[in-house]
């Protein structure tokens, strides 16, 4: 090996290790940058070729080394596991947020809300038993009924508001997803343009991680380093081109509100793929909106089912009240109070229903019921009496003002099983039904919170493992810095020594 060759090898080594020190410095500078992939310099020995009578021999280790590549620490399998864990964790956390809305409303079903008002109503019915002709007692009874009806309507409106809030959140999430898809396309273009740099790779990974909080995604990587993204197996992003955006459709009627998703073509916005898209959203926050609104997971409460339960309770209660108010079996009948020509109170056969619907139909929903206007203006029309014609043997029954047999039926409604829980029929009182509805939601919320914590822990473990793999370890970087610095110094000493030798030789000539 000649002195010139020795100097060239030493000079090349100095340049190599100087570049390696630059890479270490860049790693340290990005120590706290999320999704930054630490870089490593890869060296390779240079081949030394000599020409001897047209026979070429290759000898390694006699021509120094050079930098062959700059590599990033990437584990696609670990990264995908982390994205899946994040999707699961965000699904349960957001579902817990949605069920939390129902939990607040459920408090209105219990002893501090509707159930308490029902107790006041039945207490007023008991007072009506004792003094069926007292106008003030009747007014209290009607007012208590009005409070119950108002509470049904108030809770129904709260369920509607919860649905509207979730729909708006789903719309915002959809907008965020489409913005992230746009960002991914632009970052893919930048990644291709700069030759696959670490900075753009970190930004691509950040976008993918944020997307995974909303929806389940699958990806693969092109040769130029750009990423393709798929939803339900459909190519949504292909490197620097976006083929589809996410589309949200809201369906609303008087009772239910549901949402459905599709993929809208970028080139032809009238073309939307809907088949299987909503069903494929089995992770991420969008799944929680689908289940909360559409009720696709029968294991947990959803807002439409809760409102339907409230409507069922309102229907059972109102029909029961009207059946008592207008009781007539042919032999006995309910009677209200009127006045004769002299202004005296007398009984008459009841013909005025207790509860009406706002829209005039027979649809007794929680938001469509009201106290009959005639009863509100004249509480004497409440049928507190029940007349059995057999008891009067054809005599005048209209003066039996103290009869309170029908008021007793109003009171007895408190313990009558008029509601249905589960697969049963008329197996629960109204109070039991409301308690069951409130407690089921509370139990569901506790279960979801527990799962949310479990999946949060899984995600955190996966994220830490991945960060440790790709991220910058300060101790490791300092060790490499010392190693490269000493190699640089050693190469510099060799260069200096050979330079001195050459100078001495030249002086001797």
Per-residue model confidence (pLDDT) at position 72: 64
Quote the tokens at residue 286.
């969008």
pLDDT tens-digit profile of 206-262? 899 999 999 999 999 898 889 999 999 999 999 999 999 999 999 987 678 899 999
Separation between Cα atoms, residue 4 and residue 312, nearest integer Å: 96
CA distances from 202 to 25, 90, 101 (A): 17, 21, 36
Per-residue model confidence (pLDDT) at position 58: 46
pLDDT tens-digit profile of 421-477? 877 788 899 999 888 888 888 888 889 999 999 999 998 888 888 777 666 777 777
Sequential DSSP letters for 89-155: HHHHHHHHHHHHHHHHHHGGGTTTTHHHHHHHHHHHHHHHHH-TT-HHHHHHHHHHHHHHHHHHHHH
pLDDT tens-digit profile of 317-330? 999 999 999 999 99
**pLDDT higher than threshold 50 for residue 490:** yes
pLDDT tens-digit profile of 290-342? 999 988 666 777 888 888 889 999 999 999 999 999 999 999 999 999 999 98
Quote the tokens at residue 128.
């009506």
* Residue 440 CB-half CA count within 13 A: 18
Per-residue model confidence (pLDDT) at position 75: 60
Q: What is the mean pLDDT of residues 477-501?
A: 83
Per-residue model confidence (pLDDT) at position 59: 46
**pLDDT higher than threshold 80 for residue 130:** yes
pLDDT tens-digit profile of 64-98? 787 766 666 566 677 788 888 999 999 999 999 99
Per-residue model confidence (pLDDT) at position 61: 47
Separation between Cα atoms, residue 20 and residue 26, nearest integer Å: 10
3-state secondary structure of 365: coil
Per-residue model confidence (pLDDT) at position 56: 42
Q: Residue 360 phi/psi, 5° resolution?
A: 80, 5
pLDDT tens-digit profile of 385-408? 999 988 888 888 998 888 999 999
Beta-strand relationship, 355-357 and 39-52: unpaired
Continuous segment of H or E residues that includes residue 66? strand 55-72
Residue 114: pLDDT band (50, 70, 90) is: very high
**pLDDT higher than threshold 60 for residue 57:** no
pLDDT tens-digit profile of 2-18? 777 777 887 888 888 88
Per-residue model confidence (pLDDT) at position 296: 67
**pLDDT higher than threshold 80 for residue 111:** yes
Q: What is the mean pLDDT of residues 365-387?
A: 96
**pLDDT higher than threshold 90 for residue 482:** no
Quote the tokens at residue 145.
């009924």
Percent of the chain with pLDDT over 90: 52
Residue 27: pLDDT band (50, 70, 90) is: confident
Residue 110: pLDDT band (50, 70, 90) is: confident
Per-residue model confidence (pLDDT) at position 172: 97
Per-residue model confidence (pLDDT) at position 135: 96
Separation between Cα atoms, residue 186 and residue 192, nearest integer Å: 10
Q: What are the DSSP E strand ranges found in 351-447?
A: 355-357, 369-371, 385-388
User: Domain segments of the chain: what residues?
Assistant: 3-32+39-72+476-508, 78-103+165-298, 109-157+303-442
Q: 110: buried, middle or exposed (CB in 10 Å: 19+, 13-18, 0-12)?
A: middle
pLDDT tens-digit profile of 163-222? 999 999 999 999 999 999 999 999 999 999 887 766 788 889 889 999 999 999 999 989
Separation between Cα atoms, residue 364 and residue 428, nearest integer Å: 19
**pLDDT higher than threshold 60 for residue 347:** yes
**pLDDT higher than threshold 60 for residue 54:** no
């Amino acid at each position: 090996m000649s002195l010139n060759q020795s100097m060239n090898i030493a000079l090349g080594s100095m340049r190599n290790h100087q570049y390696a020190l630059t890479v270490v410095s860049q790693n340290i500078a990005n120590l706290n940058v999320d999704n930054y992939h630490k870089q490593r310099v890869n060296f390779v020995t240079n081949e030394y070729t000599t020409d001897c009578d047209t026979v070429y021999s290759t000898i390694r280790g006699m021509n120094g080394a050079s930098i062959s590549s700059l590599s990033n620490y990437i584990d696609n399998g670990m990264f995908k596991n982390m994205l899946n864990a994040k999707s699961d964790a965000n699904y349960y956390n957001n579902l817990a947020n949605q069920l939390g809305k129902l939990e607040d409303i459920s408090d209105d079903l219990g002893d501090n809300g509707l159930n308490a008002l029902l107790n006041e109503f039945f207490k007023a019915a008991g007072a009506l038993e004792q003094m069926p002709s007292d106008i003030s007692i009747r007014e209290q009874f009607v007012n208590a009924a009005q409070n119950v009806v108002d509470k049904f309507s108030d809770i129904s409106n709260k369920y509607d508001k919860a649905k509207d809030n979730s729909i708006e959140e789903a719309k915002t999430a959809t907008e965020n997803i489409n913005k992230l898809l746009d960002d991914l396309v632009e970052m893919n273009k930048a990644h291709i343009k700069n030759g696959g740099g670490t900075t753009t790779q970190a930004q691509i990974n950040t976008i993918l991680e944020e997307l995974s909080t909303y929806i389940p995604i699958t990806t693969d990587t092109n040769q130029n380093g750009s990423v393709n993204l798929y939803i339900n197996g459909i190519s949504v992003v292909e490197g620097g081109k976006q083929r589809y955006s996410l589309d949200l459709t809201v369906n609303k009627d008087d009772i239910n509100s549901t949402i459905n998703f599709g993929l809208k073509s970028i080139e032809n916005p009238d073309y939307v793929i809907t088949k299987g898209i909503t069903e494929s959203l089995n992770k991420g926050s969008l799944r929680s909106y689908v289940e909360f609104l559409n009720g696709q997971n029968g294991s947990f409460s959803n807002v439409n089912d809760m409102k339907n339960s409230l409507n069922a309770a309102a229907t059972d209660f109102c029909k029961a009240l009207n059946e008592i108010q207008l009781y007539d079996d042919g032999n006995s009948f309910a009677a209200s109070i009127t006045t004769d020509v002299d202004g005296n109170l007398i009984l008459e056969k009841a013909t005025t229903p207790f509860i009406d619907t706002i829209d005039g139909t027979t649809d007794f929903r929680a938001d469509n019921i009201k106290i009959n206007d005639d009863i509100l203006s004249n509480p004497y029309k409440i049928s507190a009496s029940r007349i059995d014609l057999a008891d009067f043997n054809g005599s005048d029954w209209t003066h039996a003002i103290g009869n309170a047999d029908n008021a007793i039926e109003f009171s007895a409604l408190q313990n009558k099983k008029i509601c249905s829980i589960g697969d049963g029929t008329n197996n629960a009182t109204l109070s039991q039904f409301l308690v069951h509805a409130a407690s089921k939601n509370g139990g569901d919320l506790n279960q979801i919170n527990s799962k949310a914590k479990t999946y949060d822990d899984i995600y955190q473990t996966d994220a830490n493992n991945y960060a440790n793999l790709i991220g910058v370890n300060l101790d490791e970087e300092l060790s490499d810095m010392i190693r490269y610095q000493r190699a640089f110094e050693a190469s510099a000493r060799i260069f200096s020594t050979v330079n001195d030798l050459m100078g001495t030789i030249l002086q001797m000539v």
